[in-house]
Structure 1
Amino acid sequence: MRIPRSSRAVTPVVSNVLLVAIVVVLAATISVFALGFSEETTETGPVVGQSSGTLESNGAGSDNGFVRIRHVAGDPIQTSNMEVVVDATAACGKHGRLVNLPVDGAGGNAIGENNIEGDDIFDERPPYLGGPDKSALHEPEYASGEAILFRIPNSDCPLQNGDQVTVRVVHTPTNSVVIKETLTAT
């Protein structure tokens, strides 16, 4: 019995398949380097599972206006990696940001000029001169069970009962908002 032989060669088909495979591998390799897929990993911010907050009104002649944001549950945040954004535009048309934390005013006891961006709506007095008590803003880490405490003085932003202020804690390396509390003055 004889096996029929074709006069056509298989080599051109195999070479075309190999050529296409080489082009696909080269294109994938070049795209990884050119687009930076291998180097760019998405870093997620810390997760704060639960938080709470309070805001006291600061009527004329009042020493109130205290804002307290409590970290109830979740990952700790390095204070040097966070900023606190305070939006009081609904109450007094101002918004400010606490940066370069932990605070450095009054020898590390109070919010200083270097800690404020935007409108200065923050009490810069240390606790021993009537400013807010020390809080996570003074510490290297903001962890579960701790609170951020600052004061919005009446002279900078009058807060009446029912006024709202939104406070965001931002994790700066990932630019993610880890806490957002809309507080109503009581």
Structure 2
Amino acid sequence: MRNEATSGEESSHGDTVLVVIDVQTGFEDAAYWGSGMPNDAVNHVSRLLADWAARDRGPVVVVRHDSRDPASPLHPSGPGNALVPAVADAAADLLVVKHVNSAFLGEPSLDVWLRGAGLSRLVLCGIQTNMCVETTARMGGNLGYDVTVVLDATTTFDLVADVPGLGRTHVPAAELARTTAVNLAAGGFARVSDTASVLAE
């Protein structure tokens, strides 16, 4: 990945920032993550990156999750921490490295960089829909950014948890993604769109 800028200098291109969240090879480890959504999210992310470059739509921010859990496929010591080739090869204006869900809590500060460049429109895509993408969208909305989440350019995995009052609960990935879309749209955190609509803008 070519990191073209690391501070908030003004950009000469468009004003909509494409934020690509945690599209890392470690998410291909089905034994670790379990069942996932059978969608084409990574290809859609690639299409968005290509469109941003071809039409000079605005800066690209790439986010990478460096897990602190040595057993995680996303731990920096393992090959799964690497970005997938389409993202690694993209010309990005900023690389944000984080250890938690929100891209706004990584290094360098995404909020400081965006405000320094006078940028307020964000288009989010990546992994996982209901975790890092949703958390980033919620925080971005709360911080006053105009946020769009490209739902079919995200993906996630089934969740199973022991929940007091509910017992052992299993929620399929597709239902988690649907709930994320409703949470974001109904809560006013972000618009929810799809790749075709964003490419047609």
Q: TM-score when scaled to structure 2?
A: 0.25
Pick the structure with more helix per residue. Answer: 2
Q: Which has the larger radius of gyration?
A: 1
Pick the structure with more strand per residue. Answer: 1
